[in-house]
Structure formats: C-alpha cells, structure tokens
Amino acid sequence: MEYLTLAETYQRIEATSKRLEMADILVELFKVVPAGEIEKVVLLTQGKLAPDFKGIELGIAEKLALKAIYEATRVNEPEIQQMWLRDGDLGNVAFEAVSRKKQTSLFTESLSVDMVFANLEQIAGSSGPGSQDMKLKLLAKMMHDSSPVEAKYIARTLAGKLRLGIADMTLIDALALTYSTKENRDKVEQAYNTCSDLARVASLLAEKGIEGLDEIKLEVGIPLRAMLAERLPGIPDILEKLGGKCAFEYKYDGLRIQAHITKTSVQLYTRQLEDVTSQFPDLVKMLASAFKAKEAVLEGECVPIDTNTGEMLPFQTVSRRRGRKYELTSAVNEFPVMLYLFDCLYKDGKDYTQTPYTNRRKKLKTCIKETDRVKLAEVLITDSPEEAEEFFQKVIGKGGEGIMAKSLADDSFYRAGSRGWNWIKFKRDYKSEMNDTVDLVVVGAFSGKGRRAGGYGALLMATYNPEEGKFETVTKLGTGFDDAILAALPELLEPHLSQGMHRLVNSKMQADFWFEPAMVMEVKGAEITLSPIHTCAWDMVRNGSGLAIRFPRYTGKIRQDKPPEEATTTAEMLSLYEMQLK
C-alpha cells in the first residue's frame, strides 16, 4: 500500500475535530488496507512503531532532521532554519521545503507503508558510532522520494509528534465498523483492554473477523489496561450503592504497579503501561523473594517510605525515582519504596479477571508471603457505616489519602480499561466544599504581569469530553504556583505551543497563548459554579451556561502518569457539581 494514501487521510483527519467524522474517514481508509498491512497502518496512525508497553520511543534531533530535509530538497539551509524558527513544527518545515524542491529528480521511488515503517524502525532503533550518518541517509532518501504531504507526516512521526488527535476509542469504533458491526464494538474494546495493543486487535480482525479476537488472552508479560474507580461523596452512599456491604481498602497514594511475575523474571508496568522494571530493581528483588506461585499478574501501589520511621512519604517522592537511569543506585537508596498489593488478575495458567473480588483477593494471598516491604493492602469488610468511618479516620490518621470501596457482588469482576462502580473511591478532600481534586489539561495561558511579567500569569484549564473528543475549559488557574514551577512552565509547555486555539479545544475565552492538550495538572477548587464563559458541560445544567471552578489552586502535582484523555472528564465534573449540591 502506498504511504501517500495514509498521508492524505491524515490530512483529512487534521481538518476535522469531530469524532464521528474522524471515525468515518478511518473506516474509508481501513477498507482499502490489505490485511497484512493493517497492523502497521494502525501503529502509524497512532504515531507509534509498537504498543506503548514495548517502550520504543520515537524522536529525532531537530538538527539532523533539518539537515536531511536540506540534503533531500537543496532548499537553502538558512531558509530551512528560518522556517524551523518561525514554525517549530518539523512536519511543516518538511512540507514547505519539499514543495519548494528545486528540481524533481527522475530517480524517485514511490513510498510504500512497509518501506516507511521499516525505515522509521531502523532510525528509531539505531544508536552508537555511525548511527547518525545512517539516520541522515535514510531520512534524506525518504524525504527525497516524498511528496510534500508525505514528507510532513513522516517528519512528524519521526519527531514523535504526529498528534492527529484520534482517541483510542475512535480507532476502536472505526475498527468495529470496518471489520464487523457497531454491535460488536464492545468486544473490540475488550480485546484491546486485555492486550493493550490495537494493532494486534486490528490484524486479528482483518485476518479472521470478530471471532479472531477470541485468541486474545491475558498473558504474563503483556500488560492489560488498568481498571479505574468511580467516586461518591459519603460512606453511606457507597454502602448503598454496593448492596449494603463491601470491602474497604486503604487507598495508598503512590505509583500504580502491574507486576508480571514468573519463576525467573519480574516485569513492572505503570498505569500507563510504561515498562518501569529497570527503574525499580529493588522492587523486582523484593517481589521475587515474596512470591510463592509459579507465575502471576498482580496489581498494587508502590509507595515511598521513610525507612527510619516506617512511615509513608508523599507521592511526589516516588516520582523522583522515575526516569533517573544514571544514578539508579543512589535513587534506590535515597527514595526507598514498598509495595501494597491489592489484586490478582492471573495465577498459574488461569485468568481471574472474570471472577469476583473476594476470589481474587484469596488468590492474591496464596501468591505472596508478606515481607517488610511487600504487603497486601489493608482491608475491612463491613456493612456498618460506623466501622467504615472509623477505618477511614484511621487511614487519614496515618497520612493516607482515603479508602477504596470494592464490590463483593458475584459480578465484581476486574474490568480492564474501564472506570466502573465495582470500585468506588472516597477521599479526605470530599469533606471540604468542592468534593475532590481534579486533573485538568492546560489548553491556554495568559501573559504574566508584575512579578510574573515575561512568563505566564495564569493557565487556561480544561476537562476532557470523550463523547465530543473535545477539551472544554473550566477555569483560569493562577494560584498555587511557587517560583520554581513558574520558572519551569514556559519550558514545560513550549513543546505543546499551538498557533491559535487547538482544534480539539472548545473555548469561549481568548487566551494569549494556546497549547495542544497534553499537560495534566492537579487542581483543588473551593466550589463549582455555573459560568457563562467556560464551556465545560455547556447547556447541560442550564442553557447558555457551563461549569467553572471557583478559587482554583494548583496542588503541586503535575500528573505525568496521565495522558490528556485520562484527565477529569466533563461527566465527572457534572457529577462533582451534583454531589456538591447535596
């Protein structure tokens, strides 16, 4: 298949911000993709070369990319540099330079999807002496053979910035519609939630139809997408929702870990399915020695501790462990951690996700011999609101953030990849007026004045509306920033700058700077009110009004573990508003 077909499709997708339209365009594309190539097409459309858990990072030094563009087009180097400085988007630079290419050579080959994919793999995978030359040659050759629109998307993919704004859910819609029917959409999603690999799902669908998906099973070494919790404002509401009796577990505030353990290996994945095994060698050792089954997939929360007092430390401490490849030994000593396990999804050849909570908890017990550093999450099973309140107070007293209520019903299954009522969280913050912290996406900024002159004075924050595929503004955030974060913000946000309001953003407010939705920050507010200027839940509570957060304050947490699509949703904001009215 020609890469040009893909590039032209991407161009059409970029021209729309409507989820349904995107899905239609994708269906049109998938229908003409040969079965053997759908895997690569899906990955390229996601801007990836492999599913996230494989950890293959795209990204190329801009200098090298600009040089390759020059080699391929012979457009004068300072001019290419100028385009880059003006635009900051390698894709646009490649597009413009290739459009202005001096003469078209007779010796161009048309680019196939296979060829582009193989070249990108080779460029992403090579390092060491001679690799720069090789990358330059490969990229220059591709640019030479490209039309402007192909050059644009190859450059963006290589830079790791394809960003077509297609949510996974839209790809799933399109795959179901192409290879089966709308009615089977949930089956496609379930397959994806189990293997976390849409390309594999697509390839099975294309080769074998919807039945092909039965081949997808939970496997040790292949992470599944995490189950998430709903929230309610009070313990009595929770008990009522869960049939009068439930399990209350300590809600630890750390890093969620999905551990895939065999007799000879331990692999650790975060909630975003990033492989963090190499960052936590201590956890690997601790788990290996506490493990007493043959193989299992377990879930827990990794919490930083003070080894002198045995007390848990704030969540931020564990994030210091992340990404520190070079001083790993000192990081391990400086920021020791422990693991509280709360679920067992697989043990010794059997998938337990479709069994009730109580059974999974029993299995978990048989997998682990508790040690100082590896423990099972504390739990209380009760039907008494008083006992549950006491447990909650005990957790808060120990510095915990709240409790997780878990259904004991016969169908209290582990629902990979979805937020559901089998788990309900209840946090300390719920007791104040605005019932929770929220995770909002930065979509714009306002120039600073006075002490903040030259930087950003406030940020425009949004919730995510998955039905519309849009980010809807909900507040202007200017409080809670210390000097360090104020100084860091321009650099943190720079890679996401957008010329004008990003097409996935819905705002009535005019910001001085706009960003592609990418960075997620935790915000605590005093109250949620109706607002004529914010677009979150527009017309949903009252015609001509949206929802806004009053007196928002940045809590100090940047949610690096959350992509923008996992930020607080508009629906969650609505339910927080309703809880507050109670």
* Closer to ligand ATP by Cβ: residue 195 or 377: 377
Stretch that binds ligand ATP, among 105-113, 115-123, 141-149, 248-256 (CB under 6 A): 248-256
Q: Which residue, among 199, 191, 158, has the nearest Cα to 43 in the 3D structure? A: 199
Stretch that binds ligand ATP, among 246-254, 304-312, 455-463, 488-496 (CB under 6 A): 246-254
Q: How far is the CB of 352 from ligand ATP (least distance, A)?
A: 16
CA distances (Å), origin 330, targets 278, 281, 310, 320, 397: 14, 12, 19, 11, 31
Q: Going by C-beta distance under 8 Å and a sequence separation of 6 or more, which residues neighbour residue 21?
A: none
Given 67, 135, 251, 557, the catalytic residue: 251
Q: How far is the CB of 401 from ligand ATP (least distance, A)?
A: 7
**From candidates 4, 136, 138, 228, binder to ligand ATP by CB under 6 A:** 228
Q: What is the CB neighbour count within 10 angstroms for residue 577?
A: 21
Q: How far is the CB of 243 from ligand ATP (least distance, A)?
A: 19
Q: How far is the CB of 230 from ligand ATP (least distance, A)?
A: 8
By CB under 6 A, tell whether 572 contacts ligand ATP: no
* Closer to ligand ATP by Cβ: residue 400 or 457: 400
Q: Which residue, among 175, 183, 101, has the nearest Cα to 145 in the 3D structure? A: 101
**From candidates 35, 64, 164, 229, binder to ligand ATP by CB under 6 A:** 229
What b/e string do you get for 536-570 counting C-beta neighbours within 10 Å, with b at 16 or more? bbbeeeeeebbbbbeebbbeebbbebbbbbbbbbb
Fill in the per-residue mask, 424 to 463: x = in contact with ligand ATP (CB under 6 A), - = not in contact. -x--------------------------------------
Stretch that binds ligand ATP, among 93-101, 122-130, 245-253, 512-520 (CB under 6 A): 245-253
CB 476 within 8 A of CB 582: no
Q: Is 251 designated active site?
A: yes
**From candidates 342, 352, 414, 538, binder to ligand ATP by CB under 6 A:** 342
HSE-CB for 416 with a 13 A CA cutoff: 30
CB 283 within 8 A of CB 336: no
Q: How far is the CB of 227 from ligand ATP (least distance, A)?
A: 8
> Which strand (E) or helix (H) includes residue 143?
helix 131-145
Please give the Cα distance from 364 to 344 (Å, whole number). Answer: 5
Name the percent of the chain in helix, strand, coil, to the closest 5. 40, 20, 35
What are the CB-based long-range contacts (under 8 Å, 24+) for 368-373? 368/290, 368/291, 368/292, 368/298, 368/341, 369/290, 369/291, 369/292, 370/290, 371/286, 371/289, 371/290, 372/338, 373/286, 373/290, 373/337, 373/338, 373/339
Q: Going by C-beta distance under 8 Å and a sequence separation of 6 or more, which residues neighbour residue 131?
A: none
* Closer to ligand ATP by Cβ: residue 142 or 226: 226
By CB under 6 A, tell whether 271 contacts ligand ATP: yes
Q: How far is the CB of 499 from ligand ATP (least distance, A)?
A: 31
* Closer to ligand ATP by Cβ: residue 439 or 472: 439
Stretch that binds ligand ATP, among 127-135, 140-148, 247-255, 365-373 (CB under 6 A): 247-255
Site for ligand ATP in 274-333 (CB under 6 A): 301
Site for ligand ATP in 60-119 (CB under 6 A): none
Q: How far is the CB of 229 from ligand ATP (least distance, A)?
A: 4
Q: How far is the CB of 342 from ligand ATP (least distance, A)?
A: 4
> 3-class SS at 16?
coil
What number of chain residues touch ligand ATP (CB under 6 A)? 13
For residue 115, give both structure tokens: 């060829």
Q: Which residue, among 264, 258, 255, 266, has the nearest Cα to 196 in the 3D structure? A: 258
**From candidates 251, 260, 363, 496, binder to ligand ATP by CB under 6 A:** 251
DSSP lists the bridge partners of residue 250 as: 403
**From candidates 216, 298, 312, 404, binder to ligand ATP by CB under 6 A:** 404
**From candidates 3, 252, 269, 280, binder to ligand ATP by CB under 6 A:** 252
By CB under 6 A, tell whether 256 contacts ligand ATP: yes
**From candidates 176, 224, 377, 462, binder to ligand ATP by CB under 6 A:** 377
Stretch that binds ligand ATP, among 215-223, 249-257, 410-418, 483-491 (CB under 6 A): 249-257
Please give the Cα distance from 69 to 76 (Å, whole number). Answer: 10
Q: How far is the CB of 425 from ligand ATP (least distance, A)?
A: 5
Please give the Cα distance from 414 to 127 (Å, whole number). Answer: 41
The site for ligand ATP (CB under 6 A) is made up of 228-229, 249-252, 256, 271, 301, 342, 377, 404, 425
Catalytic residue positions?
A: 251
